[in-house]
Structure 1
Amino acid sequence: MKSIFIDCCLGISGDMLASALLDLGVPKSIFLDNLVRLNIEKNYNVKFNMGTSEGIKGIVCTKNEIPFKEVSRNLNDIKNLLLDSKLNEYVKKKSIRVFEILAEAEAVVHGNEVSDVHFHELGSMDSIIDIVNVCSAIDFLKPYSIYFSDPPSGKGIVSTSHGPLPIPVPTVAEIARQKKIPLMLLDDKYFGEITTPTGIALIATFIDKVYQPDKINIEKIGIGLGSKNISRPNFLRVMLISENDDYIGNNKPSFQTIISQEAWIDDSTPEDVAVLIERLRSAGAIDVICYSVDMKKNRKGICIQAILYPKHKNLLREVWFNYSTTIGIRENNISRWILPRRTVSHKTKFGIVNVKQVMRPNGQTSIKLEHKDLTKITLNTGIPIEEIRKKLIIELSGFYELDDYSF
């Protein structure tokens, strides 16, 4: 399956991201058709040209000045413009969401209602086109996942319609706060904006995919150049990467990096600990264990350890700090080897039962019946769970010997 890793460690803006996606393989016609679908093709012209930035080759986006005066737009104006266009529903929905995120941040910054927010630079046709182009490109590529590295905050002061503002500008800082996007401090001699409001709003639109994958198989790289000369390479890199599916195409163990989060607690009741464990599992933990430990001052405590995939680490941190008494957690990367496996649903005389299949290195397949399904059957029938297990193993014994699996 194909995914995208957007490496924005040097900065991100809407036009840089659109250029990088074009360089990755999105047809230029996708972007040019957007001008037609937005009904502005006679008033605006977007060009993508090859260029370099401090020796790094990529694509830079330029836009011809429009012959009509830009107007200030509010969120409803932009929504209506997009809804009235001939863009497809996905692009409309995602583009509107970007502007909603911008409006929500602007409302907090200026102390207004979202409906009263008026976009100036952000409501220009430049920004609208950049956002629509990025959403169209992602719609074309249809990646399984989209990953981002942490964007840089930048430093210095920038001139805006509100006057000079510190960097990161309030809108960028507010989106980062609301969406819990870490802003990286870049050791950079350049003083200026390198993560724009449009850029971070595009990240926030896909917030469920923000983290750097542990292992990437790069198939293609796209480079989008910034238009500013900042005495260092100014580009955004997008990588098309391949990832393994949930099951693996052979019977060999595969290597994986996961995360362990752990806390020792001595001031919670067993009932509270039980609720915490359930919350951690619901938030995406692969498993949670607990055992008794001797803590300082000879107090008896409980060690709670959650094992999780990297993409769930931020969400589980929130669970620890919001729903437990701990004031700190230990977090470590763990390496593990896993066998190819998959879960398959089968219709049996007891009803639908989920079965986990595992491929051993010697080519043999083993199965394990889902315990919660066995529990449901025993509660409904009154038959002892061990008897149900034996009957199902006999009933299903043939299917994993005869079926042609694609692990």
Structure 2
Amino acid sequence: MKSIFIDCSLGISGDMLASALFDLGVPKYIFLDNLVSLNIDKNYNFKFNVGDSEGIKGIVCTKTEIQFKELYKSLNDIKNLLLGSNLNDYVKKKSIRVFEILAEAEAIVHGNQISDVHFHEVGSIDSILDVVNVCSAIDFLKPHKIYFSNPPSGKGIVSTSHGPLPVPVPTVLEIARQKKIPLTLLDDIYFGEITTPTGIALIATFIDNFDKPDKIKIEKIGVGLGTKNICRPNFLRVLLIDDYYIENKKPSYETIISQEAWIDDSTPEDVAVLIERLRSAGAIDVICYSVDMKKNRKGICIQAIVYPKYKNLLREVWFNYSTTIGIRENNISRWILPRRTVSHETTFGTVNIKQVIRPNGQISIKIEHKDLTRITLNTGIPIEEIRQKLIIELSGFYELDEWSF
């Protein structure tokens, strides 16, 4: 499965990310169509040109200088522009979400209601187009996952429409706080903004995980250059990766999180609801068993295992929907076999099948039990009989079709 890793360790802005995605291979017409879809003045244009930054080759986006009669300052103005455009629903939804994140942060920074927020720099046509370009490029690539490196905070003071502000500017800092985005302190000779509000809002909108996966196969690299001359390389790169790369059919190593609590003051019905909430919030699985607690009280140990990207969401479930006042959390190392779940047409209709490759190269399959349950309820045929018929019918599905090694 193809994913993208966005390395923004030297900084991120909307135009840098759009340029890197163009360099990665997103066709130019994807970006040019946005001008038509947004009904932007026909004289307005932008170009992706090859350039370099302190010897690093990449793509820089240059835009025409035009004074627009109408400026889109409020969140509602920008929403109306996007909703009234001919952009597809995905690009509209993601672009609006970027500006909602910006508005939520601005409202807190200035002590206003979101409806009273007025954008300045990020409300310009240039910024709106940068956001739409990034969203449409990601829609074109349709990555399985999007990984980001931790963005740098920058340092110094910058001039804004509000006057001089410290770096990172309050909006960037607030988005980092709200969305729990870790900022790195870069040992940098440059004093100024290198992670822009638009850049960090794009991270908050698209982030699946921070840091690159443990093992990747790099397919292509795109480099986007910044427009500032900061006396050091100023670029962002996007890696197209195959994070489902299987090497020699061997098990792969990964780190997951274990969260656990012992509870002795909830009914079994309440525990059942909690377990379902944990699973719905992204837990890989949840188990529970009886434990003897202090003072010989009978309690229930509930343990959830979860991918790191969902750990914060599960913590909220623990503390909002259970009686516990603390949870134990540990990193767990595990080895997993290459596996995938795919749909297959059968005489009983569409069924989902988990396919696994063993280290010796053998393939095993398991039919999803919920599909077996659905079929037996609809047909009255016993589950075991359905399972046996499907195994015979799917015998050809043991092949390695569409698997990459």
Same fold (TM over 0.5): yes
Task: Name the residue aligned to 2:75.
Answer: 75
CA contact (8 A) 1:365 1:400 kept: no
- What's the CA shift string for 1:282-341, capped at 9, x where partnerless? 222222334567889999876544333343333233334444525353321413031545
CA contact (8 A) 2:337 2:358 kept: no
**SS in structure 2 opposite 1:51?**
strand
CA contact (8 A) 1:17 1:224 kept: yes
CA contact (8 A) 1:51 1:59 kept: yes
- What's the CA shift string for 1:121-173, capped at 9, x where partnerless? 11112212211221222233232322222222223322211112222222222
**SS in structure 2 opposite 1:259?**
strand
Task: Name the residue aligned to 2:256.
Answer: 259
Change (3 A) 1:321 1:391: same
Amino acid aligned to 2:223:
I
CA contact (8 A) 2:224 2:237 kept: yes
Change (3 A) 1:390 1:149: same
Alignment of structure 1 residues 4-403 onto 2, 5 Å: 4-67=4-67, 71=71, 73-208=73-208, 212-244=212-244, 252-263=249-260, 265=262, 268-269=265-266, 271=268, 274-290=272-288, 304-324=302-322, 325-338=324-337, 340=339, 342=341, 356=354, 358-361=356-359, 366=364, 368=366, 370=368, 388=382, 390-403=384-397
CA contact (8 A) 2:150 2:183 kept: yes
Change (3 A) 1:195 1:402: closer
Greater alpha carbon shift after TM alignment, 191-200 vs 293-302: 293-302
**Structure 1 unaligned blocks of 5 or more:** none
| 1:13 Cα deviation from its structure 2 partner | 0.5
In the superposition, the TM-score normalised over structure 1's length comes to 0.80
How far apart are the structure 1 equivalents of 2:202 and 2:144? 17
**SS in structure 2 opposite 1:82?**
helix
| 1:257 Cα deviation from its structure 2 partner | 0.9
Amino acid aligned to 2:126:
D
Change (3 A) 1:265 1:185: farther
Change (3 A) 1:83 1:329: same
Amino acid aligned to 2:276:
E
CA contact (8 A) 1:224 1:237 kept: yes
| 1:75 Cα deviation from its structure 2 partner | 2.3
| 1:182 Cα deviation from its structure 2 partner | 2.9
CA contact (8 A) 1:94 1:205 kept: yes
| 1:72 Cα deviation from its structure 2 partner | 6.0
Greater alpha carbon shift after TM alignment, 273-282 vs 234-243: 273-282
How far apart are the structure 2 equivalents of 1:60 and 1:374? 54
| 1:358 Cα deviation from its structure 2 partner | 4.5
In the superposition, the TM-score normalised over structure 2's length comes to 0.81
**SS in structure 2 opposite 1:122?**
helix
Amino acid aligned to 1:255:
S
Change (3 A) 1:313 1:81: same
Amino acid aligned to 1:47:
K
| 1:259 Cα deviation from its structure 2 partner | 0.4
How far apart are the structure 2 equivalents of 1:29 and 1:15? 16
Amino acid aligned to 2:127:
S
**SS in structure 1 opposite 2:283?**
coil
**SS in structure 1 opposite 2:21?**
helix
CA contact (8 A) 1:70 1:124 kept: no
CA contact (8 A) 2:148 2:211 kept: yes
CA RMSD of aligned residues (A): 3.8
**SS in structure 1 opposite 2:152?**
coil
CA contact (8 A) 1:211 1:311 kept: no
Change (3 A) 1:225 1:339: closer
Amino acid aligned to 1:332:
N
| 1:355 Cα deviation from its structure 2 partner | 5.9
- What's the CA shift string for 1:86-125, capped at 9, x where partnerless? 4444433332332222223222322333232222111112
| 1:21 Cα deviation from its structure 2 partner | 0.9
CA contact (8 A) 2:48 2:61 kept: yes
How far apart are the structure 1 equivalents of 2:150 and 2:233? 18
Change (3 A) 1:296 1:344: same
Change (3 A) 1:300 1:396: same
Amino acid aligned to 1:196:
T
How far apart are the structure 2 equivalents of 1:297 and 1:192? 59
How far apart are the structure 2 equivalents of 1:156 and 1:21? 29
**Structure 2 unaligned blocks of 5 or more:** none
| 1:63 Cα deviation from its structure 2 partner | 2.6
| 1:367 Cα deviation from its structure 2 partner | 5.3
How far apart are the structure 2 equivalents of 1:353 and 1:23? 40
Size of the aligned set, in residue pairs, is 399
